[in-house]
Structure 1
Amino acid sequence: GCRELEAHIAQRKKDLESSGDNAIQFELAKLNQCLMLLEQRTQDLRTVENIAMQSIPMIKTMEFSNMNLIRKINSAFIITLPVFKQALAQAIMLKRQRLQAESMAALDAKTNELLIKNARNSVEQSKATAQLASGSSIKIETLETTWRTIVSGIDETRAIQENARRQRIEDAKRLEAIKQEFRQKFSPSKTR
């Protein structure tokens, strides 16, 4: 694991000091990266192991809760459900009686209301028909509103497109700057 890799790195450092070979320096950089990745992976595995150990009491607690729920459900079938069914049947019968009485009273009221409403509707419909027959189908205000909406939409679309174009230009500059910085930091002359 990590100890063997650390020992190998120490040996290669001694080899570099004694020989001065640049190839060993690149090998050491790779070995150090491997050591770092191995240490991170080891830490990840320790973390996962700890999480798994913490899950055991949680699972036992859920198991106990499930047993209690099963006991409660079984009790409900024996005691609670029959009482609930009886109360529900009584409530339904009482509600039906109340609804029937209310329905009969509402029917009488609606009959009188409909007679009055039909007379009023007849007059209102006659007046509305006369107004419709005397005017234009499309109001000028409607046409003005639709024209303003179209023009506004075109202007907003142009603004969005112009902003997107400017953003693309700015993003291209920033990407080029990143690329130049990358080339400066990792050019072959700097990595040696």
Structure 2
Amino acid sequence: MLRTALLLPLLAFPLSGCLLVDVNTRSGFYTGGTVSSTVTTTDTIQESGDIYDASIGGIEYFSTLGNGRAEAYSAILAGSDTGTTPTSGQAVYLADYEVAVISNLRYYETELRGVSSLDDGKISIVADFDQGTVTGSDGALVVDGAITGRAFEGGVVYAGHDGDLEGLVGDQGVIGAFHGNNGQIVFAGGFVGN
């Protein structure tokens, strides 16, 4: 009997700690230029930025931590235009990418805390117009999308975490915005290349 009484509290403690890992995270796309419509006045922007190429346009992104939640959002800038989308062949674009990340999300007493960072790099994006795909990988970022008209949608994997992808592709370049979240991380960013 004594053994059972001692084991139950010991088992309950680790299980209760697991519940704290399930934090309130959100991520998504927004329309470029309307950042204020997504962020409330009491949220704290942790990281933000953009990638812009005057010939095709670009993306913008941000991450927030506050009010008991972590969020990250990205957008393709209004007016972005990657040109005419070919119907056959392949194109390889060398793209710059940036990602706002809040990781290691944990509650400290009643406050949600995390480690905020920016990551950036270069990635080769291959558009296969015969197959209707947009793919690429640099190690930290994996891109996998399906082309429909001049746009594409699909998924990304960033640092082992899944996310959503949308973008534009054409004969002048490629632009992609992405985001993802789970109980451990939120991230948002994008890539621009020609």
Higher strand share: 2
Does TM, scored on the shorter chain, surpass 0.5? no
Higher-Rg member (1/2): 1
Higher helix share: 1
